[in-house]
Amino acid sequence: MVIKPMIRSNICINAHPVGCAKDTERQIAYVKGQKEKRGIKSVKEGGLGPKVVLVLGCSTGYGLASRISAAFEYGADTIGVSFEKEPTVTKGGTPGWYNNAAFDRAAEKEGLRSVTFNADAFSDECRASVIARLKEWGVKADLVIYSLASPVRTDPDTKVLYKSVIKPIGQVYAGAALDMMTGKITQASTNPAEGDDIPNTVKVMGGEDWERWIRQLLDADVLAQGCRTLAYSYIGPSLSHAIYRDGTIGEAKKDLERRAHAIDASLKTALGGGAFVSVNKGLVTRSSAVIPIISLYLGVLFKVMKDKGTHEGCIEQMERLFAERLYTGENSSAGEVPVDEENRIRIDDWEMDSAVQAEIDRIMPAVTEENVSELTDLAGLRHDFLNINGFDVEGVDYEADIQDMTQID
């Protein structure tokens, strides 16, 4: 069959196997190039960077980019966890399934150990499987990346299913919404949180599960001396705070940051390690297309940052996080991590640069449907939106007949 993107309500609901694999390979090629440019030695070459890395939420976005950076720039063995829909010969799987398959294939080719668990990362059964594999390998993890972004979580103690929502708190949030595919601008609004929306969202997207992971890994003695752990977050500009930083998701992220301090104290005491929240740059996601203001803001942000030569996608940002924040010591050893007053790593520094934000504030009120292609990076938004699902990837023949949806060639 010939696979074309199926878009429903600003969400792409299918994936292209070859496109997903090709884009994963593109990211791998990027970090290999950066490795040479920076003169980084892999573990096998005598480098002192990460040796064994666990990535929770490894299949897309920042999680995938983190795993690629660890493996193909520093030579780390990796364990990944994500919950994906597997394809059959005639039915497609999720983009993450194809990304994971491409990663594992490339790691094997490079002689890197990797295993990917297709499992519910919120479950204790998954934790037990990861611990068993680390012990089977006879190694301890020196870096744990927490990059889960599921809309639901089942509490492993009570078995209650919780659902997260993206809503403002206390008032309706309204603003212009940009359709990335058509360029249409409409007024959209989101009703405020009600009932248990806030605690449920914190339960899913907060730091409780991250803390549980580190506690069980510590108890099992599978974390290395000096082990660090990172979770990812976003703050963004003031114009989005009502729906994000001060909304339900923001409450969850604040919980994540609070728990980071407790995790940091535990790791310092036990292993001389540490825990950090990395605040990352705004990017196109499945949800950003339907949140008021966000897609329009991203369109202007991308244009401004590309004009300044500072725009980054997931892989560029995570490679910079590893090389310029985490492993800055001699021979890529773990150096001192620069943080803000809340002990957060600010890899969103280029987005939040005052000159960038001032230019965005100047442009956004002037954007109309007539000039949207000129004042925003509409083409870039559309590319990223499709790219998440393996479409609009350079070098892929999208007219080719795909006879087996389980194959990534």
Measure the CA–CA gap between 114 and 217, rounded to whole angstroms.
18
* Six token digits for residue 107: 């790691």
Residue partners of 94: CB distance under 8 A and separation at least 6:
15, 59, 84, 85
Contact 92, 15 (CB under 8 A): yes
Catalytic residue chosen out of the listed positions 244, 297, 327, 398? 244
Residue 28: name the closest of 128, 147, 108, 92 by CA.
108
* Six token digits for residue 103: 């990663």
Is residue 244 among the annotated active site residues? yes
CB burial string 348-385: b at 16+ within 10 A, e below: bebbeeeebbebbeebbeebeeeebeebbbbebbbbbb
* Six token digits for residue 200: 């449920």
Contact 332, 319 (CB under 8 A): no
Classify the C-alpha dihedral 209-285-376-308 as positive or negative: positive
Could you write out the DSSP letters of every residue in 44-98? GGT--S-SEEEEES-SSHHHHHHHHHHHHHH--EEEEEE--PPP-SSS---HHHH
Q: What are the catalytic residues?
A: 244
